[in-house]
Structure 1
Amino acid sequence: MMVRSFRERRGRKMMTDSTDKTDTDTASPLRKAPVVRQISISDVIDALGDGMRDFHRAPIYGLAFGAFFTIGGLLIVLTAAAFDMSYLSYPLAAGFALIGPFAAVGLYEVSRRLSRNEPLSWSAILGTMWAQKSRELSWMAFVVLFVQIMWMYQVRLLLALFLGFRSFASFGEFLSEIVNTPEGLMFLAIGHVVGAILSLILFSLTVVSFPLLMEEDRDFITAMITSVKAVAMSPVPMIGWAIVVTISLIVSIAPAFAGLVITLPILGHTTWHLYKKCVEPEVPS
């Protein structure tokens, strides 16, 4: 009886192992990572031209997203002033610009539809943006938020180190302090260096990942790795584009964020075309 029971258990185990092996053998292969291409400065210039053409072809959408982003920036700065924290207006404005890639998702969809000659409508654009809440792109919001928190934390830390724990009655008083004192100039210099490092990290993580996640069903870790690879493979043109973006945003923010109405849509459309040049389209299996 014991021998028969042992044989029955052994037979069942062999059948289970055989079934597991069959399931493993017939399983679909792992999905390949996105293929990244090396680009040149001329590719960046071409992408910028394509972005300007997209803005010209669908100006209503670009102006609407740009205006929405501009109003958001103004509200943040005005809120800081209302709470007697106007000295944080500049770092808040600079930090607000970091969320540009996430705000440009609608612009990526406009460029995608224009490239495929698909009809444009607000219901289609906003519907695509709303659908991202249940996809991996929503996780990128936490990445951007984390960098934003790190940016504000280092501003507060540097303020405490160089200017002490004191408040300023106005942004003008704060500006006078950092421009006319050695401590203020040191705060300004180190703050910009740290900000540049954080901006470069965020740029490397997001320049390709946002449009990739919007177009393909990928996980956000793969998207960020792909984005970093794109920057690493073409450092000169990609860092050059990052400098263009930074200068454009600084110039646009200066006149009460008004320049973002034009700058944001052009940068958003251009980023989409730059992504298409950096990453080969996925071939359906």
Structure 2
Amino acid sequence: MAQEPEDPTQPRFVPPPRDVLPEINTVTWADIAAALTEGFADFRARAFMSGFFGLFYALFGLLIVWCLASLGKIWMIIPAAVGFPLVAPFAAAGLYEMSRRLQAGIPFGWGEILTVMADQRKREMGWMAFVTLFIFWVWMYQVRLWLALILKDSSFSDFEGFLQIVFFTPPGWTFLAIGTCVGAFLSAVLFTVTVIAMPMLMDREIDFISAMLVSVQVVKENPVVMLGWAAVISVAMLISMIPAFLGLIVTLPVLGHTTWHLYRRAVQPA
């Protein structure tokens, strides 16, 4: 029987040799700058579609805040808002596919991108989503733990009262210090295991454990540059959330496109 020709519009999944991980490249600040330039170019090329993913992410963040306020969980709003960027790599899956097609010169529309995203449920991306959401759950749980241990005698009747206790009392300062340290650790762990793994799982047929190992290796071999990039992402995301999450409409797409191009520079092609 004749073999059907490959469809160039679909991702070309190339299974790696068993027990052989992709070769890691050295990543420099010039690579970060070049990836950012390419990420901005991708955003400008498909600004409406890219902005849609950013808008969806921003609206989801506002929904979380509204739900917490409606349930009277005022004290959870700031932790949820600060921890919300932890799930950004998973939210950017469609952006990775857009950048892949733009880089390859493959035309696409909404149908092609959404179809590829839907197909990820049959592959390893679902496991990475589980890892991402699990760390976000740990983030939220540790906040509740420190609140119970440090601010157990405090009463949060409204949002202003919560801010007053957290920012203007010694127990609040202790809570912020410990929470910041634990949060920074969790963020560093999540960044390390996902920064390369997420776009790699969109690009090639590889199990999520191997993808995480490659991501860890990239950070391990380029610690200063990659952790510097993590700091840029964190600051950009947090600043973008200040105006009611609306800055994420631009920031998330640009960072998502940039992450794809950084992955392509950090790992040898399949």
Shorter-normalised TM range: over 0.9
Higher-Rg member (1/2): 1
Contact kept? 1:159, 1:165, Cα under 8 Å: no
Residue 10 of structure 2 corresponds to which residue in structure 1? Answer: none
Unaligned runs of 5+ in 2: 1-15
Residue 91 of structure 1 corresponds to which residue in structure 2? Answer: 79
Query: Does the alignment pair 1:229 with 2:217?
Result: yes
Q: Alignment RMSD, CA only?
A: 1.2
Query: Does the alignment pair 1:253 with 2:238?
Result: no
Q: What is the distance in 2 between the residues matched to 1:247 and 1:66?
A: 17
Residue 8 of structure 1 corresponds to which residue in structure 2? Answer: none
Unaligned runs of 5+ in 1: 1-27
> Quick one: structure 1 residues 132 and 29, their matched pair in 2 at CA, closer, same or farther if it must change by over 3 Å?
closer
Contact kept? 1:85, 1:168, Cα under 8 Å: no
Query: Does the alignment pair 1:189 with 2:186?
Result: no
Instruction: Please give the TM-score of this superposition, normalised by the length of structure 2.
Output: 0.92
Contact kept? 1:108, 1:272, Cα under 8 Å: yes
Contact kept? 1:101, 1:210, Cα under 8 Å: yes
Runs of 4+ in structure 1 over 2 Å off: 28-32
Residue 173 of structure 1 corresponds to which residue in structure 2? Answer: 161
1:42 partner amino acid? A
1:33 partner amino acid? L
Offset from partner CA, 1:201-227 (integer Å, 9 cap, x none): 000000000100111010000000000
> Quick one: structure 1 residues 136 and 29, their matched pair in 2 at CA, closer, same or farther if it must change by over 3 Å?
closer
Q: What is the distance in 2 between the residues matched to 1:230 and 1:275?
A: 9
Quick one: percent identity of the two aligned structures? Answer: 47
Aligned length: 255
> Quick one: structure 1 residues 119 and 182, their matched pair in 2 at CA, closer, same or farther if it must change by over 3 Å?
same
Residue 231 of structure 2 corresponds to which residue in structure 1? Answer: 243
Out of 85, 101, 108, the residue aligned to residue 120 of structure 1 is 108
Q: Which has the higher helix share?
A: 1
Residue 101 of structure 1 corresponds to which residue in structure 2? Answer: 89
- How far 1:270 sits from its partner (Å)? 0.3
Offset from partner CA, 1:127-181 (integer Å, 9 cap, x none): 0000000101110011011101110111001101110065412221101001111
Instruction: Please give the TM-score of this superposition, normalised by the length of structure 1.
Output: 0.87
Q: What is the distance in 1 between the residues matched to 2:89 and 2:238?
A: 16
Offset from partner CA, 1:9-58 (integer Å, 9 cap, x none): xxxxxxxxxxxxxxxxxxx9635211111111111011011100100111
